[in-house]
Amino acid sequence: MFRRAASILLVPATALALSACGGGEGETSTDAGLPPGCEQVSKPAPKDRELKRPPQTVHAGERLTATVETSCGSFDIRLDTARSPKTVNSFAYLARKGLYDDTTFHRIVPHFVVQGGDPLQNGRGGPGYTVTESPPANATYTMGTVAMAKTPVEPAGRSGSQFFIVIAADAGLPANYAILGKVSSGFDVVKRIGKLGDPESGDTGTPLATVVIRRITIEES
């Protein structure tokens, strides 16, 4: 498990395709083989974004929650401003700039992770800048943990816009990935999304159907 996870929970530079309360919205499309609560949607067009690194406006210990609205329902992430103020600051900035609007969970590995946040929709994209905030040496990536993806050659804690959500009991990852927070409600939606990875695609996590992030909003909580 550790060998597998440590080698692939990343945004590979060379790979083609390498995530409110719970509850679905809209009608379920049985023709698409979607689980109840998911809508059949078209894959959004890729968008190339080049943003400047934001000033630091998030304060350590500030209580912030991100609500992620998707075509399979909505879920909340309690953002970890205490341990990762720089990472949260960048994520909140990108959400408010609309970078995550109409993007997909481009990588879904059953019983491991779901990954999204790429404006190019293929695992290669980012916001045009990076931030670095090394996680604690004792960081663990257990079920519901949300962290930032990076390439194998980048230093620990480097991140752009792509993030992943652990759907395994323990992903078995080393402390290399900046911690964003933890799913605080709606984890049933995350599990629903996790069912849409093609088990035959292995660690590339090719989705069986498109799951769209409609928007991410940041609120004080």
- The domain segmentation of the chain, as residue ranges, is 2-40+62-220
Give the tokens for residue 220.
């004080």
Question: Which pLDDT belongs to residue 73?
Answer: 98
Q: How confident is the model at residue 33 (pLDDT cuts 50, 70, 90)?
A: confident
Kindly report the pTM of this predicted structure. 0.87
Is residue 88 over pLDDT 60? Answer: yes
| Domain at 2-40+62-220, CATH class | mainly beta
The pLDDT tens digits for 139-187 are: 999 999 999 999 999 999 999 999 999 999 999 999 999 999 999 999 9
The pLDDT, as a whole number, for residue 109 is 98
State the DSSP code for 102. T
Q: What are the angstrom distances between the C-alpha of 209 and each of 24, 30, 104?
A: 16, 12, 10
